Amino acid sequence: MKKVYINSVASITPQKTFDNSEFLDEVIIHDNQVVSAVEPVYKDYIPPAAARRMAKGIKMGVVASKIALQEAGLENVDAIITGTGMGCLRDSEKFLSGIIDNNEQFLTPTSFIQSTHNTVGGQIALELQCKGYNFTYVHGSNSFESTLLDAKLQLELNEAENILIGGVDELADHTTKLHELIHHIKKEDITTNTLLGSKTKGSIFGEGANFFVLSNKEQESSYAEVVSVKMYNTLPLNDVVQTTLSFLKENNLTTKDLDAVVLGNNGDVEFDRFYNELTSDIFSNTQQVCYKHLIGEFNTASPFGVWIASKILKTQTLPDILKLNNKGTSSFKHILLYNQYRGENHSFTLLKTC
């Protein structure tokens, strides 16, 4: 079986991450519960005629895919695999509001056409004129990890050479209000700096698009090797430690072999317990890294963790803003990522330096 490499990365998030020459050099401190993505100048990447029907999520996805391809030095790929938790929410809300507001009359086609979950994957394929395998996974907070696993299997078996994968989700007003009502979003104001120490329920919500070119051919620009990825729909709190150790063992590693662990803590006192099980036990002596305080929670926030881990492995640096503890680690070879959302859809991803 062939090895799988991350040959390029691209990220659009509530931080200024779309410039690949930087690694969180400048951090935006957000002080509200809903944080919007910092957007690049879309016109630099998408012709106005094509962009006019695209909502924010589609634009973010298309631009992130173009940045990823550019960095990989590719004009096309063999496959496009996209993950999204909620799909094109803004157009869905627009279409559904139109039905209600106009008493089921006068329904226009654009928002309906653009509202499907696979719109981003489709638009990327149209832009690239890519007629290869095109698939969209919609699986809550495991949506991106599903794309990673699919791409990994195809590349290992040499069914493809270069695959574009990514995760994208956008904020939309009505859905955000619903999450506020059910307290998935915190009631109180909180800042980027205080979120992870929060003792209340809920998190802050964000949005973004993170895309990567995966390949079974290593190149000079490669960031990391994707060693393994495993997902669980449900995982009892008491099993997290043992499951993590088993995952490491399957990859012939122990906790001592890990140079950092990237965790999906989002400041929700109810569900950060899953991470605390690990940080207070088997990873108490490991460098702990968190990222959701910078970008908020959303179903495809976890690929930003992959972006972070890839950057750490390539640059061998770890910005202070990401450190949950400080172990003074200066050399990074193996990084484990663990993520879950509200106690469901757990994922373990293991990356290794090239």
Partner 1 sequence: MEALKQELKENIIEQLNLEDMTVADIADDDMLFGDGLALDSIDALELIVMLDKNYGIKLTDPKEGRTIFESINTMAAYIQEHRSK
- Binding residues for partner 1, rule: CB under 8 A, are 48-49, 51-53, 102, 105-110, 113
Q: Supply the minimum distance, in Å, between the C-beta of residue 129 and partner 1.
A: 18
Q: Supply the minimum distance, in Å, between the C-beta of residue 95 and partner 1.
A: 12
Our CB check for partner 1 shows the closer of 42 and 232 to be 42
Q: In what order do the strands lie in the sheet with 334-341?
A: 133-137, 79-83, 162-169, 208-215, 5-12, 224-234, 344-352, 334-341, 260-263, 288-290
Look at the chain and count its residues.
354
Please name which of 99, 114, 94 lies closest in space to residue 53, comparing C-alpha atoms.
114
Residue 286, φ and ψ in degrees, nearest 5: -110, 150
195: helix, strand or coil = helix
Strands 208-215 and 344-352: unpaired
Alpha carbons 354 and 344: distance in angstroms, whole number = 31
Our CB check for partner 1 shows the closer of 111 and 287 to be 111
Q: Supply the minimum distance, in Å, between the C-beta of residue 43 and partner 1.
A: 9
Q: Supply the minimum distance, in Å, between the C-beta of residue 310 and partner 1.
A: 34
Give Rg (Cα) of the chain: 19
Our CB check for partner 1 shows the closer of 46 and 253 to be 46
Our CB check for partner 1 shows the closer of 102 and 315 to be 102
The amino acid present at 72, given as its one-letter code, is: A
Alpha carbons 67 and 81: distance in angstroms, whole number = 16
232: helix, strand or coil = strand
Our CB check for partner 1 shows the closer of 108 and 325 to be 108
Our CB check for partner 1 shows the closer of 110 and 193 to be 110
Q: Supply the minimum distance, in Å, between the C-beta of residue 304 and partner 1.
A: 28
Q: Supply the minimum distance, in Å, between the C-beta of residue 25 and partner 1.
A: 31
Question: Across the chain, which distance is largest between two alpha carbons, in Å?
Answer: 63
Our CB check for partner 1 shows the closer of 44 and 188 to be 44
Alpha carbons 320 and 258: distance in angstroms, whole number = 19
Question: Would you say 331 and 320 are in contact if contact means Cβ atoms under 8 Å apart?
Answer: no
Q: Supply the minimum distance, in Å, between the C-beta of residue 54 and partner 1.
A: 9
